[in-house]
Amino acid sequence: QKEVEQNSGPLSVPEGAIASLNCTYSDRGSQSFFWYRQYSGKSPELIMSIYSNGDKEDGRFTAQLNKASQYVSLLIRDSQPSDSATYLCAVNAPNNFNKFYFGSGTKLNVKP
Amino acid sequence: DVKVTQSSRYLVKRTGEKVFLECVQDMDHENMFWYRQDPGLGLRLIYFSYDVKMKEKGDIPEGYSVSREKKERFSLILESASTNQTSMYLCASSQLRGQGAYGYTFGSGTRLTVV
């Protein structure tokens, strides 16, 4: 079992819709969770971090964490074509707060 | 903004060559990392370092070594390049934190082709 699992997609949503991206992780000891966005041919960029159960909102982005279910999600409201990218979920190694495992990413296509 | 600079965007090397990939960060971050990214396999950690002259193996260290002589610079070395090391190499840095880690800042990547 991989440490971090994501559906590879592609996930296609129309412009203006809510995109929902999901991630599960295997180790209950993980405490830090991040979402990165990676445009084709570019390196990942950090867009959201979450450490506590519940929701965290930043503009059009909402990260959701459920440690009991070992589940992290990212919601993108009012999706725009510029949101089309691969979204990577990252979870810290439980015995090492500064080391992360990455999912393979979910490709999001936002259609105009 | 934190900047992580990788010395080369594209490299083509021959099998058996010794290859050096350089990474420099300008924000005094303690942590530095080298990942490779391959389609379908995602990001895989090769080596990381928390301090000068300190290194730890990641998940796929075979065929690689690293050097960190200065805090801002972390070099990845392919001792004898092979075709299965053709990949995108990403350097990242972050601040050291006890709990609730900081996220990474990535460099722009080096696409290495070994022929």
pLDDT of residue B114: 98
Q: Choose the closest CB to A103 out of B42, B90, B94.
A: B42
Task: Name the helix (H) or strand (E) containing A49.
Answer: strand A45-50
Contacts with A34 from chain B: Cβ below 8 Å: 103-104
pLDDT in tens, A27-69: 888 889 999 999 999 999 999 999 999 999 999 999 999 999 9
Would strands B19-25 and B73-78 be described as parallel, antiparallel, or unpaired?
A: antiparallel
Counting Cα atoms < 13 Å in the Cβ hemisphere of B38 gives 12
- What confidence category does residue B100 fall into, taking pLDDT thresholds of 50, 70 and 90? low
Residue A13 and residue B82 in contact, taking contact as beta carbons nearer than 8 Å: no
Cα separation, A44 vs B42, in Å, equals 11
Q: Choose the closest CB to A43 out of B31, B90, B94.
A: B90
Higher model confidence: residue A94 or residue B92? B92
pLDDT in tens, B12-63: 999 999 999 999 999 889 999 999 999 888 899 999 998 898 899 999 999 9
Phi and psi, residue A82, nearest 5° = -70, -10
Cβ contacts of B58 within 8 Å, gap of 6 or more: A99, B33, B34, B35, B44, B45, B46, B47, B48
pLDDT of residue A58: 94
Strand partners of residue A32: none
Token pair recorded at residue A63: 């990260």
Contacts with A107 from chain B: Cβ below 8 Å: none
Residue A3 and residue A96 in contact, taking contact as beta carbons nearer than 8 Å: no
Token pair recorded at residue A74: 């990212």
Measured from the Cβ of residue B51, the count of other Cβ atoms closer than 10 Å reads 12
pLDDT of residue A83: 97
> Does B41 contact chain A (CB < 8 Å)?
yes
> Does B43 contact chain A (CB < 8 Å)?
yes
Higher model confidence: residue A57 or residue A8? A57
> Does A58 contact chain B (CB < 8 Å)?
no
Is A108 a residue whose pLDDT tops 90? Answer: yes
Contacts with B101 from chain A: Cβ below 8 Å: 31-32, 92, 97-98, 100
Token pair recorded at residue B80: 């004898």
Contacts with A100 from chain B: Cβ below 8 Å: 101, 104
CA distance A16 to chain B (A): 29
